[in-house]
Amino acid sequence: MPAAQRITGVLSPVVTPFRKDLSPDTDRFVRHCKWLMNHGCSGLAVFGTNSEANSMSVDEKLELLEALVKGGVPASALMPGTGACALTDSVKMTKAAVKLGCGGVLMLPPFYYKGVSDEGLYRNFAEIIERVGDDRLRLYLYHIPPVSNVPITLPLIERLLSKYPGIVAGAKDSSGDWTNTKAMLDAFAKNGFDVFAGSEVFLLDNLRNGGKGCITATGNVNPGPIDNVFRNWRGADADKLQAGITATRNIVQKVPMIPALKAIVAHFGNDPAWKTVRPPLTELSSAHEAQVITELKTAGFSMPGL
Amino acid sequence: MPAAQRITGVLSPVVTPFRKDLSPDTDRFVRHCKWLMNHGCSGLAVFGTNSEANSMSVDEKLELLEALVKGGVPASALMPGTGACALTDSVKMTKAAVKLGCGGVLMLPPFYYKGVSDEGLYRNFAEIIERVGDDRLRLYLYHIPPVSNVPITLPLIERLLSKYPGIVAGAKDSSGDWTNTKAMLDAFAKNGFDVFAGSEVFLLDNLRNGGKGCITATGNVNPGPIDNVFRNWRGADADKLQAGITATRNIVQKVPMIPALKAIVAHFGNDPAWKTVRPPLTELSSAHEAQVITELKTAGFSMPGL
């Protein structure tokens, strides 16, 4: 069987809608995922940081994932987050994702213990890969030290890639540090290691240096223009297009990002139920909400067809 | 029904033995718990940081907890860790603990998101308490900012204690900052809020200021002498006894704590299987193992009856 084509382009770490009782709202979730796939996203990194994924149990996530595939979103476009603190949770989530045919999984390191060694992290990822035991697994390492506080270092990537080529497929770099992304690209892009920027702010730089796209929070609300940069990055107006999506990003990230994304979907989709977040997050303050919506409108932002 | 007596004294965050295949070793776990209860511990804070609890799934922990109660350890002496990133996981673990009759639960804040507000953390704990919905719940807040990176602030305690008196029963302070423990004691000890030091180094200070004991890593290996300080803290030789247990602690904490505790149990119990840890932790290096065992022996350390 020939290897399936790798995911490239713009992926959204899909925000998760919750009902008033804080249970995941499957229908709204599937609907938003379909809107994203029809408006610029080439893939969906469901269960990412912006999805409040770690605020849900493994079973809650598996139910959403199954509903998504049943609902008609192609599994090959899905890159669910499957990395947890508990080895057994990571294995369970990853096995289920591979069995459903997901194009990849985006894997956090175990993030409770801080200052752990690369040896310990290597053992974690290797143990998961061995237990899943399926050549169809495409594992993307999730480097997000500002939140996880547990970095994925270059020597760790090198060791995993050398032991599991083809299975260790790439990384999302959410360090916010372009120097680090560039170092990842320089070291591994030529070896079939697909680097995704963790923000569209770095999309053009990433593509120009051998990267494959971006997995970005703002993909939830601005997928079309971001995808436009991806499709036209070799074009004469690429820098201008990049400046446009960076400007939108800068409006959104002035306020707390996750509740902001939900408030934006709620506003432009005329669906206030979207504002609900799970603790420990809180919804956007009225002042912040008014600010972000006003600034977006002034900038001509829209979410067509939502 | 009169309220059950609160847990006081020395609690051990029990280290969790794993088999070669990294599955929890129930028999060794129950055996070690019984040894601890017979050698100085008045309670067991199973599933703490030193238990590698967050490296286990909820179901793995529940199986161990049930085995412990079935094995004859009194549930009233148990204070299992039940706080997780996912609200639904925290509720499931806490409900099960209360149903089994546990004397309390030790609850981490959700620790994936950093820089969250007290409002968000309040909602997390309040939601768990409401969903558990059982007056028998005794909730101890787990403040361990060096690992969780999410602090439990004094205003948060004040708000929870005022809304849920009797249920919010106390805290473990593992900040390593005596000033913080002292502030907790000064503010809340008189209101039925039981403060446990997170290390026996602060045991005597804690007791002298209205605290109720300690929940300490080293309780796994040195419970008798630590309990001796607890029982004799008003005595003339209290400071001398405290100096003794502090000296032992200082030997152990020179090397990575969790694998060190396991290596000590393995050595003094003549049971090498105890050394196994789950990723992302790694076992103690041979050099560190030799160092800690030699220094303990030189200091006259023993684990009678192990």
- B32 vs B36, B235, B252, CA distance in Å? 6, 30, 19
Of the candidates A86, A87, A99, the residue with the CA atom closest to the CA atom of residue A133: A99
- Distance, in Å, from the CA atom of A89 to the CA atom of A83, rounded to the nearest integer, reads 8
Instruction: Kindly list the residues of chain A whose beta carbon comes within 8 Å of any beta carbon in chain B.
Output: 22, 49, 54-58, 60, 85-89, 92, 109-114, 116-117, 119-121, 123-124, 127, 146-150, 278-282
Cross-chain Cβ contact A55/B92 below 8 Å: no
**Please, which residues have CB within 8 angstroms of residue A94's CB and are 6 or more apart in sequence?**
A82, A105, A107, A128, A132, A137, A139
Rounded to a whole number of angstroms, the distance from the CA of B280 to the nearest CA of chain A is 4
Instruction: Kindly list the residues of chain B whose beta carbon comes within 8 Å of any beta carbon in chain A.
Output: 22, 49, 54-58, 60, 85-89, 92, 109-114, 116-117, 119-121, 123-124, 127, 146-150, 278-282
Of the candidates B111, B263, B14, the residue with the CA atom closest to the CA atom of residue A110: B111
Contact B262, B15 (CB under 8 A): yes
Q: A210: exposed, middle or buried (C-beta count within 10 Å: 0-12, 13-18, 19+)?
A: middle
N-term to C-term CA, chain B: 38
Residues of chain B with pLDDT under 70: 1-4
Give the A:B interface size as CB pairs under 8 Å.
111
Q: What is the overall mean pLDDT for chain B?
A: 97
Domains and CATH numbers, chain A: 9-237 (3.20.20.70)
- Amino acid present at B97: A
Residue A38's pLDDT is what? 98
Which residues in chain A are closer than 8 Å to B87, comparing Cβ atoms?
Answer: 22, 55, 278-279
Record the tokens describing residue B148, joined without a space. 């969780």
Residue B253's pLDDT is what? 96
- Distance, in Å, from the CA atom of A87 to the CA atom of B56, rounded to the nearest integer, reads 7
Which residues in chain A are closer than 8 Å to B288, comparing Cβ atoms?
Answer: none
**Please, which residues have CB within 8 angstroms of residue B216's CB and are 6 or more apart in sequence?**
B10, B11, B12, B13, B197, B198, B199, B200, B203, B226, B249
Cross-chain Cβ contact B280/A56 below 8 Å: no
Which residues in chain A are closer than 8 Å to B282, comparing Cβ atoms?
Answer: 117, 119-120, 123
Rounded to a whole number of angstroms, the distance from the CA of B81 to the nearest CA of chain A is 14
8-state DSSP, B63: H
Cross-chain Cβ contact B121/A279 below 8 Å: yes
Q: What is the radius of gyration, based on Cα positions, of chain B? A: 18
Cross-chain Cβ contact A149/B114 below 8 Å: yes
Residue B2's pLDDT is what? 45
Q: What is the overall mean pLDDT for chain A?
A: 97
Q: Backbone phi, then psi, for A111, in 5-degree steps?
A: -120, 10
Residue B171's pLDDT is what? 98
CB atoms within 10 A of CB A93: 25
- Distance, in Å, from the CA atom of B8 to the CA atom of B176, rounded to the nearest integer, reads 20
The yes-or-no verdict on residue A4 having pLDDT over 90 is no
The tens digit of pLDDT for each residue in A263-306 reads 999 999 999 999 999 999 999 999 999 999 999 999 999 999 99
Cross-chain Cβ contact A22/B121 below 8 Å: no
Whether the upstream peptide bond of residue B304 has omega within 30° of 0, thus cis, is: no
Nearest to A56 among B86, B149, B150 (CB): B86
Residue A1's pLDDT is what? 41
The tens digit of pLDDT for each residue in A55-111 reads 999 999 999 999 999 999 999 999 999 999 999 999 999 999 999 999 999 999 999
- Return the exposure string of B264-289: e unless at least 16 CB atoms fall within 10 Å of the residue's CB, then b: bbbbbbeeeebbbbbbbbbbbeeebb
Helices A223-231 and A238-252, axial angle in degrees (round to 10): 150
Rounded to a whole number of angstroms, the distance from the CA of A230 to the nearest CA of chain B is 30
Residue A114's pLDDT is what? 97
- Distance, in Å, from the CA atom of B176 to the CA atom of B181, rounded to the nearest integer, reads 9
Tell whether pTM > 0.80. Answer: yes
The tens digit of pLDDT for each residue in B95-116 reads 999 999 999 999 999 999 999 9
